[in-house]
Amino acid sequence: MTTHKTKGFSPSCDRNKQPILERLCVHFKACKHVLEIGSGTGQHAVFFAEHLSHLMWHTSDMLDYHGSIQAWMADANLPNLVAPMEFHFGKQAWPRLDLDGVFTANTTHIMPRDAAQLMMQTIASQLKSGGVFCQYGPMNVNGEYTSEGNREFDQHLQQSGCGGIRDLAELVEWAEGMELTEQIAMPANNFLLVWKVR
């Protein structure tokens, strides 16, 4: 992915956007400013901002992905979609925004373990009281994979230098100050975790 403005495309984003949106419509109903961590191609940002017109959707990712995000944004031309900021846990400071919601999809298992831990701790400490964090992706439960496909995927992730699929108990331990209010089973052996800051 380069920084020229060419739209990237992720088949998985295209498949999961509608099921995720149905949940975000409920959990971000009262939100005004939501930060997306790891906006990737920009597909999710455009789709969610279009259907959640009551809020401002703030995009973020490493610079390599900004070109694609900007290309999707340019075609959509939505007033509630904010240009991407450079943000990477452990490298940039938490953005100085009045956020009441955070969303991330398929990032937790890509991050190194310490970055995933830092993400949970930072959101728990920086998001305002009553704020909502919606976290999508594959998770282990009680130390077990939820499918054989996830086991194989995790082996591939770790061989590729990624942190791997995290266990729910591990995330709860790291997220001190946030309560896991819903654990929603999603298609393709994924979950949407809904956290609320105390």
Question: What is the pTM (predicted TM-score) of this model?
Answer: 0.96
CATH of domain 11-197: 3.40.50.150
Q: What is the pLDDT of residues 134-173, one digit of tens each?
A: 999 999 999 999 999 999 999 999 999 999 999 999 999 9
Q: What is the pLDDT of residues 108-138, one digit of tens each?
A: 999 999 999 999 999 999 999 999 999 999 9
How much of the chain exceeds pLDDT 90, in percent? 97
Three-state secondary-structure class, residue 61: strand
- pLDDT surpasses 80 at 79: yes
| C-alpha span between 29 and 23 (Å, rounded) | 10
> In this predicted structure, what is the pLDDT of residue 58?
98
- pLDDT surpasses 60 at 55: yes
Average pLDDT over residues 58-71: 97
What burial class does residue 132 get, using C-beta atoms within 10 Å of its C-beta: 0-12 exposed, 13-18 middle, 19+ buried? Answer: buried
* Domain ranges within the chain, ordered by starting residue: 11-197
On whether the CB atoms of residues 25 and 51 are closer than 8 A, the answer is yes
